[in-house]
Amino acid sequence: MKIGIDARMYGVSFTGIGRYTSELIENLASLDNENEYVVFMRKDAFESFMPPNNRFKKVMADFPHYSFGEQIGFLKVINEEKLDLMHFTHFNAPIFYNRPYVVTIHDLTLSFFPGKKMTNFFHRIAYHIVIKNVTKKAKQIIAVSENTKKDLIKALKIDPEKISVIYNGVNPKFGDVDPTPRPDLMKKLGLQKPYFLYTGVWRDHKNIVGLIKAFDSFNKEVGSQYNLVITGPHNPTYNEIPNTIRDLKIEDDVHLVGLVSEADLFGLYKNALSYIFPSFYEGFGLPPLEAMQCGTPVAASNVSATPEVCGEGNALFFDPYNAEDMKNAMKIMATDPSVRQRLVDRGHERVKFFSWDKMTREVLQIYKSI
């Protein structure tokens, strides 16, 4: 078969979906010796991406999401390849594409938490048209969790038989990080105290402002002994994040470090006192598993897909809508080494359940079934 992969979100700047796409391509290259693949990419990724073998071909598809170019130009580019099967790794797809395809739905965040990305009327209408159309016409839908499958059935009335749950993986190299402290990294980022870590994008449903406020309350209570590190690209539409830090006068304790390199991300995970994940909504939620793989104890919200992914007893769960509950979770992580060690041990076992190799093998079965 000749299979297309929408890799317009390929790369670290797209965080979870970018990692999903890159891991899928890398593992297909090593696992599948039969099919041919056409990888559709935006300009930056296209220029840097080297096809892993001669069964892979890259094609420029520099069309932004929610654009007329996506609906017209991308459609033309895909049709020119005369594919047997297309895999849209995100719901944004040309609505008039009529050849067989599968689609991966990572979450329905924009249905439940539209936030500032969906203030534009056109974007709101486009989102609802596109996601309803792409899920209706897909031969099969891949959901990354049972929670996402449940949301698809509830919000879009999808036939459950059409949805296959295939969990994401965790790259083993997160577990290969040298546990030695990184004084160079601490100095570069201005960290002088044990720190809690959050990684990810700045969006309303991520509850970052709630995290900052809970951390401030906790840290003041213990005499400002800790730092909070927040990674992720600075998003000017979420000025309330730096504004909250400034208003609380905690610039010395809360560090917005931006999008860090992979090596620095590994170091941040490995040396954190605890990883903290305060999200209101996740379709999967990869960072807690990455932290577990690095041997870092996890405190996480008890809603949406997060408990399903982390597993019972493998993280310290809290109510993300309750600042006191979040603060108490931080206090336990800071003061009880036995809890931290138990979560480290359990986390190491939990991540064995998730692998990109396993994910890719299950995706290949979907391809073969179409």
Q: Provide the domain count of the chain.
A: 2
List the structure tokens of 311.
Answer: 């597993």
Are residues 263 and 176 part of one domain? Answer: yes
* Helix H or strand E segment including 132: helix 121-137
In a shared domain, residues 237 and 304: yes
| 15 and 160 share one domain | yes
The 3-state DSSP class for residue 33 equals: coil
Same domain, 152 and 13: yes
Predicted local distance difference test score (pLDDT) of residue 206: 95
Q: What is the pLDDT of residue 70?
A: 94
Residue 133 structural domain? 2-169+355-369
Tokens of 147: 């929670």
Considering the domain architecture, whether residues 66 and 91 belong to the same structural domain is answered as yes
Q: Are residues 162 and 250 in the same domain?
A: no
Residues 86 and 214 in one domain: no
d(CA 29, CA 7): 15
203 with 126, same domain: the answer is no
Residue 248 sits at φ, ψ, to 5 deg, of: -85, -5
Note whether 256 and 242 are within 8 A (CB).
yes
In this prediction, residue 119 carries a pLDDT of: 55
Q: Which residues contact 361 (CB under 8 A, 6 or more apart)?
A: 31
Report pLDDT for 261.
Answer: 86
Q: What is the pLDDT of residue 179?
A: 62
**Tokens 């609505």 -> residue:** 95
* CA distance from start to end of the chain: 11
- State how beta strands 298-301 and 274-277 pair: parallel
Round to whole Å and give the CA distance between 90 and 134: 10
- Decide if 36 contacts 2 (C-beta within 8 A): yes
Residues 198 and 347 placed together within one structural domain of the fold: yes
Q: Give the bridge partners for 57, in sequence order.
A: 38
According to the model, what pLDDT value does residue 123 have?
Answer: 73
Residues 157 and 33 in one domain: yes
- Ramachandran region of residue 99, left (φ > 0), alpha (ψ -120 to 50) or beta? beta
Each residue's pLDDT expressed in tens, for the chain with a length of 370 residues: 999 999 999 975 556 898 899 999 999 999 999 999 999 999 999 999 999 999 999 999 999 988 889 999 999 999 999 999 999 999 999 999 999 999 999 999 988 888 665 556 677 788 889 999 999 999 999 999 999 999 999 999 999 999 999 999 998 877 666 666 677 888 888 898 999 999 988 999 999 999 999 999 999 999 999 999 999 888 888 899 999 999 999 999 999 999 888 889 989 999 999 999 999 999 999 999 999 999 999 999 999 999 999 999 999 999 999 999 999 999 999 999 999 999 999 999 999 999 999 999 999 999 999 9
| Burial (Cβ within 10 Å: 0-12, 13-18, ≥19) of residue 329 | buried
- Same domain assignment for residues 163 and 49: yes
Indicate whether 119 and 191 sit together in one domain: no
d(CA 177, CA 290): 11
What are 246's two structure tokens?
């400034």
| Domain at 8, CATH number | 3.40.50.2000
